[in-house]
Chains A and B, each alone.
Chain A
Amino acid sequence: MSKEPVAVVGIGQTRHVAARRDVSLAGLVREAAQRALQDAESTWADIDAVVIGKAPDFFEGVMMPELYLADALGAVGKPMLRVHTAGSVGGSTALVAANLVAARVHGTVLTLAFEKQSESNAMWGLSLPIPFQQPLLAGAGGFFAPHIRAYMRRSGAPETIGALVAYKDRRNALKNPYAHLHEHDITLDRVMASPMLWDPIRYSETCPSSDGACAMILTDRAGAARSPRPPAWMLGGAMRSEPTLFAGKDFVSPQAGQDCAADVYRQAGITDPRREIDGAEIYVPFSWYEPMWLENLGFAGEGEGWKLTEAGVTELDGDLPVNMSGGVLSTNPIGASGMIRFAEAALQVRGQAGEHQVDGARRVLGHAYGGGSQFFSMWLVGDRPPDS
């Protein structure tokens, strides 16, 4: 028996900011969930199950927060699952929810991801002082910066590419009312002049720390037929994992990322992603990851990704826009960041992305990764059901 097609009929986000001191964790997730229900013109009674995700519990220090969030998400008396795959969790949470619909286990599922980074310190949560081990000598950017240098060496990319990405994403964010950073006076010169923190990563090429949540209502064909607005349809979705460190690991273009993308394209019948996909929301926490992931995802050949960025192809008006919403570089509630990518892809094919809408977007990729390039999750959504 074939899979049930999966439709996105409701999307809700909080207005992402550095600190939401006015709401509890429950109040934060509630806000995104309510907006998704409103978008779908549905009520709590229409939801059969809830699947939520967030990054490590140490980020807020609430162990298994899903237990206490059941009331806020209308999950009492219903199945509730929590997914945990580090920074990719927002994407894999959506895929677990989608699989429940595809397998006809549930008709309509609420999926939600969140992070309230202001309640803790993610850097602390990721660098506990383990006895006998040598401490990490460099902070978060210090983990990623050497991989970026490796990419620059391998591809021969000019040094300005990272700044171009940051300048583009921060300008895109100005068109997205939910984005955290709204830098109205952004210029390329300002990005280039920002302090070099972990050379080759400048301050303006790093993501912020945000409080926020994102929710989606996923449903079957019957649910989609009742949708008041055009649904987005899942055309393919996949997850892949590999160890964070192993002999032969390619940090510049991890095998798990390549395999994950290939699986999504196979499901969706995509043979030339660069031509057949109209835009992508890619998890780019440091600017240089745009060209790196363009290659990893098959949008460009090895060593060629930076040329798309440099030529303006990934600009909002380019022919493969990337991170139309402003991306992770403008908004990073870690656990929610992957789901925001997935949701923004769906908004595009529904024609509901507002000022950052890409005209005529019919197929858009949502991508997430996390855990030091350990976990990958992706989906491709379209404006028509998979069998049409």
Chain B
Amino acid sequence: MSAVLKAPLVVEFPFTRSLGPVQSAFLTGLRERVILGVKTRDGRTLVPPVEYDPVTAEEISDLVHVGLTGTVTTWAWNHEPRRGQPLDTPFAWVLVRLDGADTALLHALDAPGPDDVHTGMRVRVRWAEERTGAITDIACFEPHDGEDSTVTVHAGEFEDPVTGIVAEARLDYTYSPGRAQTAYINALSGRRTVGERCPSCRKVYVPPRGACPTCGIATAEQVEVGPRGTVTTFCIVNIKAKNLDIEVPYVYAHIALDGAGLALHGRIGGIPYDEVRMGLRVEPVWTEGARYPDHYRPTGEPDADYDTYKELL
């Protein structure tokens, strides 16, 4: 058996966030080098602030300007910073209780090594040079042995408040399609379509999944299907999809390859789009180097009778 295929899969998206009144004030404050907390009904100050009281569930909005200095309440050393983290040299992740706050804020502490970090140590904010209204406006914290900063009530009102942010998210995976699909993909490179038959219901799955979803048992028996098949149903696509270099209109069809237990999907070509019909007999058209057929075209055979494919729509 050949090796199971693997490939990198990167998932990334610039999500947007509407902030609401409290987060808007907090992030706008950072831009203006002010750190705001919020007062709860029982008199505590939460930093970062939240919109709803964690004890009473009431809406809260009394903002307080807390200190730019604080105390490390706990920490962990990060030996190997990763992409997108606050510092690119080893640093400590710290929870910092800013002066005047009752809760701690998570951020990075720039320190030479883990021996220079301890719970209870005093730290201060190091601001980023360019600030946009984001948590990264605090570049990091740094050790501090000077005066404590003062704490005052703050209206939380600023010129040109930040009301939304873009949160770039990225996940790096190694993707493997598994044993059954690897065999299917390898067969496609020889322009053969090979599925697997369920030993119980005898249906042939294309592409194979290694198990029958109806019977819940493993499949192993390989069965070549096609290359010809029947258009079981379809739609005519009139809008251009992003990242697809196909002229519209075109026909997107469900195609039951001869011998397959269910239809797979493909584009129909070699015939005007408005002449495609259910029951049309088709065959794959390959292009050099492609993993999948480019499209399917009519074979010229008579249309299949509805009863022969009505279970395969």
Name the distance in Å between A342's Cβ and chain B's nearest Cβ: 24
Chain B 36-78 interface residues, beta-carbon cutoff 8 Å to A: 50-57, 59
Name the distance in Å between B183's Cβ and chain A's nearest Cβ: 12
Is A304 an interface residue, CB under 8 A from the partner?
Answer: no
Is B3 an interface residue, CB under 8 A from the partner?
Answer: no
Is B155 an interface residue, CB under 8 A from the partner?
Answer: no
A131 nearest CB neighbor, chain B only: B7
How many of chain B's residues touch chain A, expressed as a range?
35 or more
Name the distance in Å between A82's Cβ and chain B's nearest Cβ: 18
With A24-B17, A146-B233, A197-B239 as known contacts, state yes or no: A76 contacts B54, CB within 8 Å.
Answer: yes
B251 nearest CB neighbor, chain A only: A199
Among B164, B167, B169, B233, residue most surrounded by chain A Cβ atoms (within 10 Å): B233
Are B169 and A198 touching (Cβ within 8 A)?
A: no
Q: In whole angstroms, what is the CA distance A122 to B213 when docked?
A: 26
- Contact partner, B313, options A26, A73, A142, A252, Cβ 8 Å: A252
Contact flags B201-236 to A (C-beta < 8 A → 1, else 0): 101110000001110000000000000000011111
Is A135 an interface residue, CB under 8 A from the partner?
Answer: yes
Chain A 124-175 interface residues, beta-carbon cutoff 8 Å to B: 124-125, 128-139, 141-142, 145-150, 153-154
B295 nearest CB neighbor, chain A only: A137
Q: Which of B95-103, B107-115, B134-142, B259-267 is near enough to bind chain A? A: B259-267
Is A269 an interface residue, CB under 8 A from the partner?
Answer: no
Are B169 and A61 touching (Cβ within 8 A)?
A: yes
Are B265 and A131 touching (Cβ within 8 A)?
A: no
- Contact partner, A121, options B13, B236, B241, Cβ 8 Å: B13
Contact flags B259-290 to A (C-beta < 8 A → 1, else 0): 00110011100000000001000000000000
Across-interface contacts of B20 in A (CB, < 8 A): 22-24, 26-27
Chain B 6-23 interface residues, beta-carbon cutoff 8 Å to A: 7-9, 11, 13, 15-20, 23
Are A21 and B52 touching (Cβ within 8 A)?
A: no
Q: In whole angstroms, what is the CA distance A142 to B278 when docked?
A: 16
Q: In whole angstroms, what is the CA distance A120 to B12 when docked?
A: 11
Name the distance in Å between A14's Cβ and chain B's nearest Cβ: 13
Chain A 237-253 interface residues, beta-carbon cutoff 8 Å to B: 243, 245-252
Chain A 86-136 interface residues, beta-carbon cutoff 8 Å to B: 116, 118-121, 124-125, 128-136
- Contact partner, A61, options B15, B185, B311, Cβ 8 Å: B15
- Contact partner, A132, options B52, B181, B238, B239, Cβ 8 Å: B181
Name the distance in Å between A380's Cβ and chain B's nearest Cβ: 29
Is A72 an interface residue, CB under 8 A from the partner?
Answer: yes
Name the distance in Å between B78's Cβ and chain A's nearest Cβ: 21
Q: In whole angstroms, what is the CA distance A51 to B87 when docked?
A: 39
Across-interface contacts of B313 in A (CB, < 8 A): 146-147, 150, 250-252
Name the distance in Å between B70's Cβ and chain A's nearest Cβ: 23
Is B175 an interface residue, CB under 8 A from the partner?
Answer: yes
Is A20 an interface residue, CB under 8 A from the partner?
Answer: yes
With A74-B57, A199-B236 as known contacts, state yes or no: A132 contacts B51, CB within 8 Å.
Answer: no
Is A60 an interface residue, CB under 8 A from the partner?
Answer: yes
Main secondary structure of the interface of A (DSSP, over half): loop
- Contact partner, A153, options B163, B167, B261, B278, Cβ 8 Å: B278
Across-interface contacts of A137 in B (CB, < 8 A): 237, 241, 244, 246, 252, 265-267
Is A276 an interface residue, CB under 8 A from the partner?
Answer: no
Q: In whole angstroms, what is the CA distance A30 to B51 when docked?
A: 10
Q: In whole angstroms, what is the CA distance A333 to B267 when docked?
A: 31
Is A196 an interface residue, CB under 8 A from the partner?
Answer: yes
With A24-B17, A130-B175 as known contacts, state yes or no: A76 contacts B57, CB within 8 Å.
Answer: yes
A145 nearest CB neighbor, chain B only: B235
Are B16 and A119 touching (Cβ within 8 A)?
A: yes
Across-interface contacts of B265 in A (CB, < 8 A): 134, 136-137
Chain A 303-333 interface residues, beta-carbon cutoff 8 Å to B: none
Name the distance in Å between A334's Cβ and chain B's nearest Cβ: 16
Is A195 an interface residue, CB under 8 A from the partner?
Answer: yes
With A30-B52, A131-B177, A252-B313 as known contacts, state yes or no: A138 contacts B237, CB within 8 Å.
Answer: yes
Are B239 and A139 touching (Cβ within 8 A)?
A: yes
Is B291 an interface residue, CB under 8 A from the partner?
Answer: yes
A196 nearest CB neighbor, chain B only: B238
Are B52 and A72 touching (Cβ within 8 A)?
A: yes
Are A142 and B235 touching (Cβ within 8 A)?
A: yes
Is B253 an interface residue, CB under 8 A from the partner?
Answer: yes
Q: In whole angstroms, what is the CA distance A121 to B16 when docked?
A: 10
Among A24, A76, A116, A125, residue most surrounded by chain B Cβ atoms (within 10 Å): A24
Q: In whole angstroms, what is the CA distance A252 to B312 when docked?
A: 12
Are A22 and B18 touching (Cβ within 8 A)?
A: yes
Is B122 an interface residue, CB under 8 A from the partner?
Answer: no
Is B31 an interface residue, CB under 8 A from the partner?
Answer: no
Is A351 an interface residue, CB under 8 A from the partner?
Answer: no
Q: In whole angstroms, what is the CA distance A249 to B9 when docked?
A: 30
Are A247 and B214 touching (Cβ within 8 A)?
A: yes
Pairs A-B, 8 closest by C-beta atoms: A145-B235, A74-B57, A247-B261, A24-B20, A61-B15, A199-B236, A247-B203, A131-B7
Q: What are 22 contact pairs spanning A and B, CB under 8 A? A: A21-B164, A71-B57, A74-B57, A119-B18, A130-B175, A131-B8, A132-B185, A133-B177, A138-B235, A138-B237, A138-B252, A141-B235, A146-B253, A196-B238, A198-B238, A199-B238, A200-B235, A247-B203, A247-B204, A248-B203, A248-B262, A250-B313
Interface of B toward A, CB cutoff 8 Å:
5, 7-9, 11, 13, 15-20, 23, 50-57, 59, 163-164, 167, 169, 175, 177, 181, 185, 198, 201, 203-205, 212-214, 232-239, 241, 243-244, 246, 249, 252-254, 261-262, 265-267, 278, 291-292, 306, 310-311, 313
Given contacts A27-B51, A146-B254, A247-B262, 10 further A-B contacts (CB under 8 A): A71-B52, A72-B57, A120-B16, A131-B175, A138-B252, A145-B235, A146-B313, A246-B213, A246-B262, A247-B205
